[in-house]
Structure formats: structure tokens, C-alpha cells
Amino acid sequence: MATVTIRVATADDAALILRFIRELAIYEKAESSVQTDEAGIRASLFGADATAHALICEAGGEAIGYAVYFYNYSTWLGRNGIYLEDLYVSPQQRGSGAGKALLQHIARIAVADGCGRFEWSVLDWNEPAIRFYEAAGAKPQSEWTVYRMEGDALRKFAAG
């Protein structure tokens, strides 16, 4: 088994990241929800105003996964945290340690930056991911319900 390495993504990785996003969306049964393109990825992750960060996971010189995260804030802790937006490893590479390597890499960033939390969401039907996260020591936060406002609802609400 090839050694897994993690590197910071660059703008040159925009097409690769978009490919992984589409693969993840297919896995999550939400392929039609992907509305971005390579230019959107390049601007949002690598533009001057980018606030999210991306990592590429490689094995044997081949990109096998990625992660995207950003900093959030806890008023209760009075400290930043990290929110993991995406963690994806190609199906044929699952079980290789790549997912754990990505998760640990971001956990190390959180610790080094003095973050109080490292959080993410997982679909309730994604049993393999749930087992993986719980084996890593993560605990579900079942008392919280995620709410989302997007598209027309967001625009209408913002307009008053």
C-alpha cells in the first residue's frame, strides 16, 4: 500500500476538487445540487477573499481524496473552531487510512491554532461514515438540528 500524503491544495487543483465534489455528490445522492464549476472553485477557494481551505490527499503520486474546511467561532468557548465541509476519499481507496490521515491533519491544524472545536455534519443514513467518525472519537450532537436558508428563500428573506 502506497504511503498517504496530504498537501495544501492550489488553484491548479480546481478541476480535481470539482471532480471530487461531483463524486461526493453522487455518493450522497445529490448530484443535481452541485451548481459550481471550475471557475467557481478557483474563486471561492483560492481567490483573494477566500475563507475556506482545501487539502489534497495523495497515494503513489495519485490524488485519491480531498477535504475542505473553514474556521467558525464559538461564543461559549470564546475561541475559533474548525468546520469540516467535505471529506472525501475515492471508493477504491477507502480503508487505506486516507480518510483518517485527512481528519488527523485537520485536527492537528485545529490544535495548533488553539481551536476549541472540530465539527462536521454527516448524513444520517451514511453508516460507514458514522462508524468511521465514532471510531475516531467523535460524538454525534443529536440535540441540535441544522437549519438552512438558500436560493429564493434566502433572497426573499434578505429583501424583507
CB atoms within 10 A of CB 102: 25
Per the annotation, the verdict on 133 as an active-site residue is: yes
Quote the CA–CA distance of 103 and 97 in Å, as a whole number. 10
Task: State the cell numbers at 89.
Answer: 476519499
> Which of the residues 73, 83, 133, 147 is marked catalytic?
133
Phi, psi of 121 (to 5 degrees): -115, 150
Phi, psi of 82 (to 5 degrees): -120, 135
B/e letters for 106-115, b = 16+ CB within 10 Å, e = fewer, are: bbebbeeeeb
Active site residues: 133
